[in-house]
């Protein structure tokens, strides 16, 4: 099942994508794709609906972030063997955790703003994991029972803010529009193996990232279990699980985003994003 949110920013409605690629409205069944709606029992009720009987949404509405009400946007750093190598970093002995402000979350095709004073804004295609049931001190064996599904994330990053301005990475990761999310929340039953998904990102038609989740260091069950030792994970929380090689920082010489650029990116089975880069 592919769940989504459509409409103007702050006024998105819940929907699903039917087998023919049409948006169907879920407003008569749920208020939003958020919170308890992501619980396994709620998802089962939505899956049991006859999609063809739901109102079809006409035209091409804006697609919002596929999850609403996210309270925690948790990111994992240097979580791909080949990305760690391109940055000259060693693979960390435990997952590197940092937070991205939830105010960075935006729709998958909304414009990305380069912050004022930025000269090193970069891209990162990532697999997003959306929590569906509260997880606290869960085992790896039980971890996937707490996952609602997956989505595409562009972990947009300002490298100078991240690494050259002291402190932790958060300030380089949290600018408004730095978290395009979606287009769909794809439930786990449609993605039997999240560790074997092709992923890619292009800027102005040039493919920079062309990787796979197969090179992920710490995999999804481990990440959910690991994070749940340090904080409870709530329905709607997002874990952005790291990026494969090909980021702008890793080019020789480095390449960074500028106003007018177009980013397109996607993950196998999870859809695609397209963002126009503008000056903030």
Asked if 111 and 233 sit in the same domain, the reply is: yes
My answer on whether 157 and 258 are in the same domain is yes
Give SS3 for 104. helix
Taking the C-alpha atoms of residue 76 and residue 116, their distance in angstroms, rounded to an integer, is 26
Q: Could you tell me if 181 and 9 are in contact, meaning their C-beta atoms sit under 8 angstroms apart?
A: no
Cα–Cα distance between 276 and 280 in angstroms, integer?
Answer: 12
pLDDT higher at 197 or 166: 197
Whether 63 is covered by a domain: the verdict is no
What is the rounded average pLDDT of the residues 221-234?
A: 98
Q: Decide if pLDDT at 167 tops 90.
A: no
Q: Show the tokens assigned to 22.
A: 């049409």
Mean pLDDT of 58-68: 97
Residue 84 has pLDDT above 70, yes or no: no
- Quote the number of domains for the chain: 2
What pLDDT shows up at residue 86? 76
Q: Do 26 and 160 sit in the same domain of this protein?
A: no
Indicate the pTM of the whole model.
Answer: 0.96
Q: Are residues 230 and 272 in the same domain?
A: yes
| Mean pLDDT, rounded, for 69-77 | 97
33 and 114, same structural domain? Answer: no
| 261 inside domain | yes
Strands 96-99, 73-77: pairing kind: antiparallel
The domain in which residue 176 lies consists of 73-279
3-state secondary structure labels for all residues of 220-256: HHHHHHHHCCCCCECCCCEEECCCCCCCHHHCCCCCC
Cis peptide before 253 (omega within 30 of 0): yes
* Backbone phi and psi for residue 186, each to the nearest 5 degrees, phi listed first: -95, 120
> Rounded CA gap, 253 and 40, in Å?
47
Residue 157 resides in a domain: yes
Same domain, 31 and 167: no
CA distance 55 to 34: 20
Query: What tens digit of pLDDT does each residue of 4-61 get?
Result: 999 999 999 999 999 999 999 999 999 999 999 999 999 999 999 999 999 999 999 9
For residues 152-178, one letter each, b for 16 or more C-beta atoms within 10 angstroms of the residue's C-beta and e for the rest, the string is bbbbbbbbebbeeeeeebeebbbbebb
- Higher-pLDDT residue of 26, 165: 26
**Residue 211 lies inside a defined structural domain of this protein:** yes
Residue 186 and residue 264 share a domain: yes
**Residue 46 and residue 77 in one domain:** no
Cβ contact 73:179 at 8 Å:
yes
What pLDDT score was predicted for residue 81? Answer: 79
Q: Do 95 and 172 belong together in one domain?
A: yes
61 falls within a domain: no
DSSP conformational letter for 68: B
**121 and 184: one domain?**
yes
Q: CATH number of the domain that 137 lies in? A: 3.90.850.10
Q: Is residue 67 part of a domain?
A: no
The verdict on 46 and 93 lying in the same domain is: no
On whether both 27 and 151 belong to a single domain, the answer is no
> Would 82 be classed as within a structural domain?
yes
Residue with tokens 């693979």: 91
Residue 88 lies in a domain: yes
């Amino acid at each position: 099942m592919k769940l989504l949110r459509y409409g103007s920013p702050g006024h998105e409605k819940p929907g699903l994508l039917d087998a023919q690629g049409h948006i169907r409205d879920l407003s008569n069944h749920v208020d939003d794709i958020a919170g308890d709606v992501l619980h396994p029992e709620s998802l089962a009720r939505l899956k049991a609906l006859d999609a063809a009987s739901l109102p079809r949404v006409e035209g091409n509405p804006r697609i919002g972030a596929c999850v609403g009400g996210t309270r925690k946007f948790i990111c994992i750093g240097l979580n791909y063997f080949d990305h760690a190598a391109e940055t000259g970093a060693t693979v960390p002995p435990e997952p590197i955790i940092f937070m991205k402000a939830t105010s960075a979350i935006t729709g998958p095709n909304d414009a990305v703003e380069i912050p004022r004073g930025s000269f090193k804004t970069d891209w990162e295609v990532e697999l997003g994991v959306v929590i569906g049931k509260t997880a606290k001190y869960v085992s790896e064996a039980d971890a996937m029972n707490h996952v609602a599904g997956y989505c595409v994330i562009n972990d947009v990053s300002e490298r100078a803010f991240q690494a050259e301005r002291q402190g932790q990475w958060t300030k380089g990761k949290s600018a408004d529009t730095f978290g395009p999310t979606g287009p769909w929340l794809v439930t786990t039953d449609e993605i039997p193996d999240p560790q074997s998904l092709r992923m890619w990102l292009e800027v102005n038609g040039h493919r920079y990232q062309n990787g796979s989740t197969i090179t992920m260091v710490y995999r999804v069950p481990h990440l959910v279990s690991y994070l749940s030792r340090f904080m409870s994970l709530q329905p709607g929380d997002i874990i952005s699980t790291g990026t494969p090689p090909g980021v702008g920082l890793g080019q020789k010489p480095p390449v960074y985003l500028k106003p007018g650029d177009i980013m397109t990116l996607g993950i196998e089975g999870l859809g695609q994003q397209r963002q126009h880069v503008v000056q903030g």
